[in-house]
């Protein structure tokens, strides 16, 4: 038996951190600051510009969840995954884009297609990316409502 085991507690199976007996632990809860700490100056600038741009679209909720920072109205319309060398930006549209900056597309539901773009510098946060984010914001509620209506009909 190790000293830790003798002291009581457990190892979190998500983050492998030791959690003492009776100690609060929620590794799934995080903050924007925690996710952006340690990013290069270029990535911090790009993140700030992305956030500012999105907030100009209108009322929404911005929150950190696990390893992503989510932007949502009733449902998430885009999120950012800060990584060491890039910001992974994933946004949802009702159509599939074909553009050189779009690294990957995935059909995320019957109505929504997820698009993945890597951002490494503030200057990349401009059209067409900002136009697509705006479109994702504008169509988010419509696509979510259509999906809910279809789900109700199929019941």
Query: Does the pLDDT at position 117 exceed 80?
Result: yes
pLDDT tens readout for residues 40-95: 999 999 999 999 999 999 999 999 988 899 999 989 999 999 999 999 999 999 99
Same domain, 19 and 81: no
Residues 7-35 have pLDDT tens digits of: 688 887 666 778 888 887 776 667 899 89
Same domain, 66 and 87: yes
Q: List all residues 6 or more positions away from 66 whose beta carbon is below 8 Å from its beta carbon.
A: 28, 30
DSSP string, 44-73: HHHHHHHHHHHHTT-S-EEEEETTEEEEES
**Structural domains of the chain, count:** 2
Cα torsion 97, 100, 102, 108 to 10°: value is: 40
CATH of the domain at 122: 3.30.1460
Going by their DSSP bridges, the two strands 18-20 and 87-93 should be labelled as unpaired
Specify whether 14 is located in the same domain as 68: no
- Structural domain range at position 10: 1-27
Integer Rg of the chain from CA: 19
Query: Do 65 and 77 fall within a single domain?
Result: yes
């Amino acid at each position: 038996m190790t000293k830790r085991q003798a002291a009581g507690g457990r190892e979190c199976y998500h983050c492998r951190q030791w959690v003492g007996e009776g100690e609060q632990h929620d590794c799934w809860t995080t903050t924007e600051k925690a996710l952006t700490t340690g990013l290069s100056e270029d990535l911090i600038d790009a993140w700030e510009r992305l956030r500012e741009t999105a907030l100009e679209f209108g009322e929404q909720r911005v929150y950190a969840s696990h390893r992503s920072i989510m932007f949502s109205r009733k449902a998430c319309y885009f999120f950012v995954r800060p990584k060491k060398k890039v910001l992974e930006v994933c946004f949802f549209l009702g159509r599939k884009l074909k553009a050189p900056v779009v690294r990957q597309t995935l059909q995320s539901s019957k109505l929504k297609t997820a698009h993945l773009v890597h951002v490494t510098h503030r200057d990349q946060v401009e059209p067409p990316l900002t136009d697509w984010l705006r479109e994702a914001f504008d169509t988010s509620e419509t696509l979510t409502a259509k999906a809910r209506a279809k789900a109700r009909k199929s019941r």
